[in-house]
């Protein structure tokens, strides 16, 4: 995909129609593109009012144009930005005009950021942070992403890498001096101390980030239980909108309905499912199957029962799956309060009137806080980071243990550690993972 000789363009702002749309161009033909459309080149980095014209000279729109000559641009290449009116026809006409210029083509997802990475404008962890920032739904996700965008993990990894390179240099020097016995030992001992210290530092970082990947993914809470218990009513109340259909008929919900909540800054996906019962209706059977599936793969299940139903089924908890909270609904219809309410994981609510719902929400917030742990402050936010840091720790551990087996073995383990850290920031040999990472990006970024 990497082809710096091509000039790319894309709509970088949100979905049309909108008040303003931003179209970005990056690559060697950018100067030509801006001259063709605007008639002349604006002063670098200054907003310039311009009537944009297609190749026949007819006006497309009145816009603000910006010209960022490389390397002082977001991608490191020549970049132009056209701020046009955000109508679909305007954008289409702009795309036609840009496509008509030789060497210009629409960008692939993430291609602008990839070029920025290739040109050393950001490292891989910063690029990932940028993607996370664009997709952040809650304030906590935003703050975590910003930490990565600022390069905190990248800088840490780079400093570790440099220190291992230094330790490794001592060992390599020791190998050169190996005929002289003592010199080698004198060089290797401090290197080994350095390696042991680095290993514990990386282990601490991993431990402090134990749950932080979760902040990207969010917490999934499934509302399950027998038909007609009021599951959809509860979902609507928690979502504060009529997301699911509510009716007095048992078996109303068939599809799995998802709503996204921002619970005190924590991202939560709430799922409403079909009431679980034996049924001959094939459509409802499929709904029940999906309900069971989603309950199984969720992180927490709210098992909702009608407080008036003495024979309400209890959840089939199958072993190591998500914790289940029992929520007795429709307490507005019962005179006596349930015995269990107030105990851990037991709630009495009226989904339709709202009684007991604040307590349920408060418990969910506490649960989320625990579930996400120190995520926001943690440095590691992706499985990719964790895997590479674990590889580094393992190599450093082997290096420490192989000290008496010869310096060559030790040096080889250090090379592995250096390589893993290099892959983290994208300094070495990462061609294979680049496609995977940048494919997740939006077009225009
Ligand atoms: N009195 C009272 N009625 C409720 C309460 N919550 C829900 N209901 C009523 O119970 C009926 C069923 O509600 P739903 O939310 O559709 O129940 P459900 O569990 O989603 O049902 P299925 O989708 O069929 O499994 C509706 O008539 C609701 O108005 C409550 O707290 N109190
Ligand atoms: Mg329902």
Confidence tier at 340 by pLDDT (50, 70, 90)? low
Which residue has a Cα nearest atom 23 of ligand 1?
A: 253
Mean pLDDT computed over 52-74: 95
Ligand 1 pocket mutation, candidates 224, 230, 333, criterion most atoms within 8 A of CB: 230
- Residue 434's pLDDT is what? 66
Identify any residues that bridge with 164 across adjacent strands, giving them in sequence order. none
The encoded tokens of residue 395 equal: 């190599």
User: In sequence order, what are the residues at sequence separation of 6 or more whose Cβ sits closer than 8 angstroms to the Cβ of residue 416?
Assistant: 391, 395
Residues framing ligand 1 (Cβ under 6 A): 227-233, 246-248, 250-253, 274-275, 329-330, 332-333, 350-352
Question: What interhelical angle do 182-208 and 407-425 show, nearest 10?
Answer: 30
**Checking DSSP bridges between strand 219-224 and strand 266-272, what pairing results, if any?**
parallel
- Residue 374's pLDDT is what? 64
Task: Report the length, in residues, of the chain.
Answer: 445
**Cα 210–chain centre separation:** 16
Ligand 1 pocket mutation, candidates 226, 231, 233, criterion most atoms within 8 A of CB: 233
Question: Nearest to residue 95, comparing CAs of 169, 199, 23?
Answer: 23
Element (H, E) at 81: strand 79-86
Q: Tens digit of pLDDT for each residue in 75-85?
A: 999 999 999 99
Question: What 3-state class would DSSP assign to 314?
Answer: coil
* Model confidence at 113: pLDDT above 80: yes
Confirm if 97 and 55 have CB atoms less than 8 A apart.
Answer: yes
Query: Degrees (nearest 5) of the Cα angle 431, 437, 443?
Result: 115
- Between the ranges 262-276, 279-293, 318-332, where is the mean pLDDT highest? 262-276
Cα-to-centroid distance, 337 and ligand 2 (Å): 24
Task: Compute the distance between CA of residue 393 and CA of residue 380 in angstroms, rounded to an integer.
Answer: 14
| Sign of the CA dihedral with 165 first, then 170, 174, and 176 last | positive
Question: What 3-state class would DSSP assign to 65?
Answer: strand
Which residue has a Cα nearest atom 8 of ligand 1?
A: 230
Which residue has a Cα nearest atom 2 of ligand 1?
A: 330
Which residue has a Cα nearest atom 16 of ligand 1?
A: 246
Which residue has a Cα nearest atom 26 of ligand 1?
A: 248
- Report which of residues 373 and 283 the model is more confident about: 283
- Residue 195's pLDDT is what? 92
Mean pLDDT of the chain: 87
The encoded tokens of residue 167 equal: 């330790």
Cα-to-centroid distance, 260 and ligand 2 (Å): 17
Phi, psi of 438 (to 5 degrees): -75, -20
Ligand with an atom nearest the CA of residue 228: 1
Identify any residues that bridge with 397 across adjacent strands, giving them in sequence order. none
Cα-to-centroid distance, 334 and ligand 1 (Å): 15
* Model confidence at 392: pLDDT above 60: yes
Query: Degrees (nearest 5) of the Cα angle 261, 266, 272?
Result: 35
Confirm if 354 and 330 have CB atoms less than 8 A apart.
Answer: no
Q: Which atom of ligand 1 is nearest the CA belonging to 253?
A: 23
Cα-to-centroid distance, 231 and ligand 1 (Å): 6
For residue 57, the 8-state DSSP code is S
Task: Compute the distance between CA of residue 115 and CA of residue 268 in angstroms, rounded to an integer.
Answer: 34
User: How crowded is residue 46: how many other Cβ atoms within 10 Å of its Cβ?
Assistant: 9
Confidence tier at 337 by pLDDT (50, 70, 90)? low
Which residue has a Cα nearest atom 14 of ligand 1?
A: 230
Ligand 2 (single-atom ion) residues, CB below 5 Å: 231-232, 252-253
Which residue has a Cα nearest atom 17 of ligand 1?
A: 230
Task: Compute the distance between CA of residue 12 and CA of residue 445 in angstroms, rounded to an integer.
Answer: 6
* Model confidence at 182: pLDDT above 90: no
Which residue has a Cα nearest atom 13 of ligand 1?
A: 230
Task: Compute the distance between CA of residue 386 and CA of residue 383 in angstroms, rounded to an integer.
Answer: 5
Which residue has a Cα nearest atom 32 of ligand 1?
A: 330
Confidence tier at 388 by pLDDT (50, 70, 90)? very high
- Report which of residues 290 and 2 the model is more confident about: 290
- Residue 404's pLDDT is what? 75
Q: Tens digit of pLDDT for each residue in 119-165?
A: 999 999 999 999 989 988 888 888 888 888 888 899 999 999 989 98
User: In sequence order, what are the residues at sequence separation of 6 or more whose Cβ sits closer than 8 angstroms to the Cβ of residue 207?
Assistant: none
Cα-to-centroid distance, 246 and ligand 1 (Å): 6
Task: Compute the distance between CA of residue 304 and CA of residue 349 in angstroms, rounded to an integer.
Answer: 10
- Residue 255's pLDDT is what? 84
Confirm if 304 and 229 have CB atoms less than 8 A apart.
Answer: yes
Task: Compute the distance between CA of residue 421 and CA of residue 202 in angstroms, rounded to an integer.
Answer: 11
- Between the ranges 25-29, 185-189, 221-225, 380-384, where is the mean pLDDT highest? 25-29
Cα-to-centroid distance, 223 and ligand 2 (Å): 9
User: In sequence order, what are the residues at sequence separation of 6 or more whose Cβ sits closer than 8 angstroms to the Cβ of residue 281?
Assistant: 251
Q: Which atom of ligand 1 is nearest the CA belonging to 229?
A: 19
Cα-to-centroid distance, 320 and ligand 2 (Å): 26
């Amino acid at each position: 995909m990497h082809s710096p000789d091509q000039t790319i363009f894309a709509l970088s702002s949100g979905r049309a129609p909108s008040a303003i749309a931003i179209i970005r161009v990056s690559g060697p033909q950018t100067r030509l593109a801006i001259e063709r459309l605007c008639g002349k080149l604006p002063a670098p980095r200054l907003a310039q009012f311009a009537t944009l014209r297609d190749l026949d000279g007819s006006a497309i729109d009145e816009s603000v144009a910006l010209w960022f000559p490389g390397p002082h641009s977001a991608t490191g290449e020549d970049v132009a930005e056209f701020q046009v009116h955000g109508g679909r026809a305007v954008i289409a006409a702009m795309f036609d005009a840009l496509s008509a210029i030789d060497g210009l083509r629409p960008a692939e997802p993430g291609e602008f950021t990839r070029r920025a990475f290739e040109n050393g404008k950001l490292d891989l962890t910063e690029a990932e942070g940028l993607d996370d920032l664009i997709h952040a739904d809650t304030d906590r996700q935003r703050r975590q992403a910003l930490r990565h965008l600022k390069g905190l993990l990248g800088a840490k990894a780079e400093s570790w890498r440099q220190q291992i390179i230094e330790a490794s240099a001592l060992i390599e020097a020791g190998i050169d001096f190996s005929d002289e016995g003592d010199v080698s030992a004198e060089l290797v001992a401090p290197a080994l101390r350095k390696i042991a210290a680095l290993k514990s530092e990386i282990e601490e970082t991993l431990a402090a980030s134990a749950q932080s990947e979760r902040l990207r993914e969010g917490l999934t809470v499934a509302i399950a239980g027998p038909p007609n218990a009021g599951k959809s009513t509860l979902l609507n109340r928690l979502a504060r909108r009529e997301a699911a259909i509510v009716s007095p008929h048992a078996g109303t919900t068939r599809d799995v309905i998802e709503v996204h909540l921002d619970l005190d800054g924590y991202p939560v996906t709430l799922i409403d499912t079909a009431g679980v019962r034996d049924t001959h209706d094939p459509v409802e059977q499929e709904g029940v199957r999906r309900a069971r599936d989603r309950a199984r793969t969720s992180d927490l299940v709210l098992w909702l029962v009608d407080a008036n139903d003495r024979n309400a089924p209890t959840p089939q908890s199958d072993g190591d799956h998500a914790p289940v909270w029992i929520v007795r609904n429709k307490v507005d219809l019962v005179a006596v309060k349930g015995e269990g309410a107030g105990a851990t994981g037991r709630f009495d609510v009226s989904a339709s009137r709202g009684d007991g719902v604040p307590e349920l929400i408060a418990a969910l917030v506490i649960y989320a806080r625990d579930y996400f742990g120190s995520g926001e402050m943690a440095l590691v936010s992706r499985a990719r980071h964790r895997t590479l840091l674990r590889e580094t720790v393992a190599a450093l551990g082997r290096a420490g243990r192989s000290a008496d087996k010869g310096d060559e073995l030790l040096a080889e383990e250090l090379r592995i550690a250096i390589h893993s850290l290099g892959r983290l920031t994208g300094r070495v040999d990462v061609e294979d993972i680049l496609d995977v990472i940048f494919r997740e990006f939006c077009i225009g970024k």
